[in-house]
Amino acid sequence: MSRTAPRPAESPDAGAGPAPGRTTVVPRALDRVVSAVTADTFGVTARAVHVELSDRAGLLAVRVRTPIRVISLEQVTQMPTFVSATGGTLLRHAADGQSAIRERVTALTGAEIAHVTVELTGVEIRDRRRAA
């Protein structure tokens, strides 16, 4: 599966008309972009992210399996408001992550995405100094 990104209608040279050719994003590159975006979104390394891409009636279907970086439960009990201050529950982070992945991958690759499925596979605990 490869995706073709639209070319700009105008070239940098005024009056030159449409640029010839097309740009194709191959599956491996698309996989790496999705991995990098997912890793950035959930605060983990790209190596920890597993990506599955498929075609859904001409649109891209994305499934990611990833851990998520969170603060410790001890820190949550010491500062109960910290959860809401850092974006909410794990489910809220997963839902927000779906939207962020869709928007950023589309912006970077031009791929039209049918849906994004996020499966959280574990947590990576961070200390409060890094979380703040």
Q: Which of 7, 109, 16, 120 is nearest to 67 (CA)?
A: 120
The structural domains of the chain, ordered by start, are 24-127 (3.30.70)
End-to-end CA distance of the chain: 41
Task: Point out the least confidently predicted range of 16-20, 29-33, 84-88, 118-122.
Answer: 16-20
Main-chain dihedrals φ then ψ at residue 78, nearest 5 degrees = -75, -30
Q: What is the pTM of this model?
A: 0.75
Predicted confidence (pLDDT) per residue in 96-121, tens digit: 999 999 999 999 999 999 999 999 99
